Structures are given as C-alpha cells and as structure tokens.
Structure 1
Amino acid sequence: MDTDHIVTAETIWKYMLLGHNMIKCNAAIVLGSHDTRVADWAAQLYLDGFTPCLLFSGGLGNLTKGVFSQPEADLFADVARGRGVTSDSIFIENESTNTGENIQFSYKVLIDAGISTDKLILVQKPYMERRTYATFVKQWPGDVAKVKFVLTSPPISFNDYPNEDVGSIHDVIHIMVGDLQRILIYPNKGFQIYQEVPTKVLDAYESLIQAGYTRHMIQTGDIN
C-alpha cells in the first residue's frame, strides 16, 4: 500500500472522531457492527460505572450479513457478558439494519423498559462517531433537545485499528470513504443533520476516490 494513502486517510479518521468527554448516564446505546471491540469498550464503560445498563442494537448489516451467525446485538451482548456485565443490565434490539434504525428502534426499547433517555452514551466504531452523531440528532424519535448525550468509541489509533475482524488498513479506508460519502449526501435525503466538512478532509476524500477506494461507496437510494 502507498504510505501516502495512509496519511491521507488519517485526515478523514481524525475528522470522524468527536472527542466528547464522558458523562455518567442512564443507558448506553451500543451500535452493532463487525467490530466486537465496540462491545468490549461498552462493557468497560459499564464496569467503570458510567452506565447502569447497555442496549445493544443491530441485526445483520452490509458488513456482517453472511459473516456473523447471529445478529450483531446478540454477539455483542455475549462479549459484554464475558467481561462481567450482568444479564439484567443488558437490553437487545436485533432487528435494525442501518444506523437510522439503530437509533429509532433503540428509543422504543428504552421507552418500553421505562429507562430515562435524558442522558445517554452512544458507543460506536471510531470512524463512525460523527456519522452516528448526525444520525442521532436527526432520527431520535423523542425531543432530542432534552437529551444530553456523548459519542465514544474504543481508544484505538488509526494505524492500530485493522485486525482480522475488520480487515486490513486497505479495507478500513474503503469503508471510511463510504462513510464520509454518507455524511456528505445523507442530509439532503433527510437521514442526517448537515455537518461542515473542512476543505482538507474533502481533498483527502477526493484523493482516495481517485486512488480507487470506492468499494463501499453507495448508489442513489441506499440508506445503510
């Protein structure tokens, strides 16, 4: 791989991270994916006393369909139990197939369980923090202005992020380019709020597209 591509991609990685400070909350919504380190990090937040319960959200999506033998939420819950999270502190939503559904369906689970939603932690992959933020603000079924929430992800550097589960750094760059595309086009579709994208990030995005990192870019109408 061209090392210049790695440096360019790290510009996008840094933009995707929000740097929120952690707060104690009523619940943590843990968005499913192909990266079980997200579940491990959520379990650590629970063990550290930041949340009394974890809501794992996710069925099977683009990156896990045909790969996972069970829904993302169920697999993540198993990881959390293995870390010592008690079953009565775990809620599961395993029907969602995209980020918007993660948010919408999780709201219903929390409301049905009688859990206050005024303070929430959203747990996601590092390069999905910004997209999850934009989706939450747009798709939360309740009054989002009354919710104090933070985004967090496993504290892993870009160079250390690839592993046998998420793929090579080449694979990760393909996915990040696709995620930034969604940040750019989804506000016009009503899926996310608009976010300013700095010129240097847009330049990195265009450079990586020209270099062929387009495998996870979407066609019109795709909402995943």
Structure 2
Amino acid sequence: MPRTPTTIPAEYRADVERLWDYHNMHHEIRPVDVGIGLGSHDLGVAKAATDLYHRGMFPTLVFTGANAATTIETFPRGEAVHYREYAIAHGVSADAILIDTQATNTGQNIEYTRALLAEHQVQAQSVILISRPYQQRRAYATCKKLWPDVTVICASHPLTLDDYVTSIGNTKKVIDMLVGDTQRIGRYAELGFAIPQHVPDDVRAAYSRLIAAGYTSRLV
C-alpha cells in the first residue's frame, strides 16, 4: 500500500505556515483551575493535557468528546474515554479526571463541561483549553461566547508544523483542516456560535489560495 505523503508542497508552504501560525493563540501557560481536553482525532490532546497536569497547571482535568466520522476508527470507545485511558496510563490520578462522552462539537464541549463541573461542584474561574494546534483560535472564540466570564488560555501538544504533519501522517488532511477552521472563524461568528476574531488580509489571501488549490474537504 503506498504511503500517504507527509511533505507540504513547496508552492503552498508559506500559505500553510501562515494559517498554522494564525490559529495558534500563542498564550503564555500558567496555573488555572481546570484543564479541558477537547475531543478530536488527535491523541496529542491527551499527551498535552497529561504533561500540563504533571507540571501542576491544574488540579482537575476534563476530557470531553463522543465520536465523529473522523475519530471512530481511532477511538472506538469514544474520544474522551481514550484520552482518559492515556492520561491514567501516564500517571494522572483517576480521581483528577472527569469525562463527558456526549459532546460532538466544540460548543457542546464547552456547555457539557460547564454542566459537568457544576455537577461535581468544581469552581472554574480560569481554564486551559487543550486542543489540536489549528483548533486553538476557534476553541477560544467559542468558549468566550458561551462562557464569557472565564479566563481562557489555549494550549496544544508543542509540535512544529512539519512534526505535526508527520504525527498525523497525512499532509492533505492537515491542510484541509487548517482551511476548514479558518472558514469557521468567520462563519461561526456570523451564526452566533463564537465571538468575532480579526482575520488579517494575508490570512484571507492564504486561505483563498489553498481553496483554489483544492484543499476543501473540511469546508462547511
């Protein structure tokens, strides 16, 4: 079986790098009340959450996520369940972890996490949202819309763009995801799902060129 290419085409590298940098919020990590690992196809979320827990960044960790078409083969028991299993296997106390196994989108991740924390009487004035690298900005905008009074810090598994593409094993999938999330920044704000975010002209231009190049499978 031929291997899926994991090299970014040279003619699109600058545009891909621009979107990659745009979606990284570049937040300084500091201790908060709760860490929230957002479900996805990427085990790097669980790895980052586990590392932050061991660094003392939060005493309570929530994993939230059911399944989607892009994750069910990788995480057949559900995203949050597999994340929890990884974290426990790597030294996180089971008592420190809460899981939501129902959320199927970022808005539900936030809403169901808030309900879960309230159920367990965990006060959260500040959170670290742990996501895929290119989901940071969308996660931030969604959280600030649905939970405006909480202080939000965004974090991801600290990989370079090339290392991330290699970890996923599919260059087109990563670029498609970057393009899709860029579209969602504007679209979800228009629909009232998220707060508006500034999109610089060079980001818009990079996004348009990548669409023209056919990186469109994750557009809505």
Pairwise TM-score range, normalised by the shorter structure:
over 0.9
Q: Secondary structure at the match of 2:68?
A: coil
Q: Secondary structure at the match of 2:152?
A: strand
Aligned mates of 1:101, 1:148 — CA distance in 2: 18
1:118 paired with 2:125, answer yes
Q: Which moved more, 1:8-17 or 1:54-63?
A: 54-63
Aligned mates of 1:111, 1:191 — CA distance in 2: 22
Aligned mates of 2:84, 2:74 — CA distance in 1: 17
Q: Where in structure 2 are the equivalents of 1:84-99 lying within 5 Å?
A: 84-99=91-106
* TM-score with structure 1 setting the length: 0.91
Identity of aligned residues (%): 37
Aligned mates of 1:97, 1:86 — CA distance in 2: 26
Note if contact 2:142-2:193 (Cα within 8 Å) is conserved in structure 1: yes
Can you give the 5+ residue segments of structure 2 that lack an aligned partner in the other structure? Answer: 1-7
Aligned mates of 1:95, 1:117 — CA distance in 2: 21
1:137 paired with 2:144, answer yes
* Shift, 1:66, TM fit: 4.4
Please list the CA deviations of residues 145-192 of structure 1 after superposition, one character each: whole Å capped at 9, or x if unmatched. 2x222111111111110246x331221001110111111211111111
Q: Secondary structure at the match of 1:159?
A: helix
Note if contact 1:26-1:116 (Cα within 8 Å) is conserved in structure 2: yes
Aligned pair partner of 2:79 in 72, 78, 86: 72
Can you give the 5+ residue segments of structure 1 that lack an aligned partner in the other structure? Answer: 219-224
1:26 paired with 2:33, answer yes
Q: Where in structure 2 are the equivalents of 1:145-160 lying within 5 Å?
A: 145=149, 147-160=150-163
* Shift, 1:67, TM fit: 4.1
Equivalent pairs counted in the alignment come to 213
Aligned pair partner of 2:53 in 46, 50, 56: 46
Residue 185 of structure 1 aligns with which residue?
187
Residue 213 of structure 2 aligns with which residue?
211
Q: Secondary structure at the match of 2:109?
A: helix
What is the RMSD of the two structures over their aligned residues, measured on CA atoms? 1.2
* Shift, 1:95, TM fit: 0.1
Aligned mates of 2:177, 2:31 — CA distance in 1: 31
* Shift, 1:39, TM fit: 0.3
Q: Secondary structure at the match of 2:187?
A: helix
Aligned mates of 1:149, 1:181 — CA distance in 2: 22
Runs of 4+ in 1 over 4 A off after TM superposition: none
Please list the CA deviations of residues 85-134 of structure 1 after superposition, one character each: whole Å capped at 9, or x if unmatched. 01101100010000000000000001111111112111111111000000
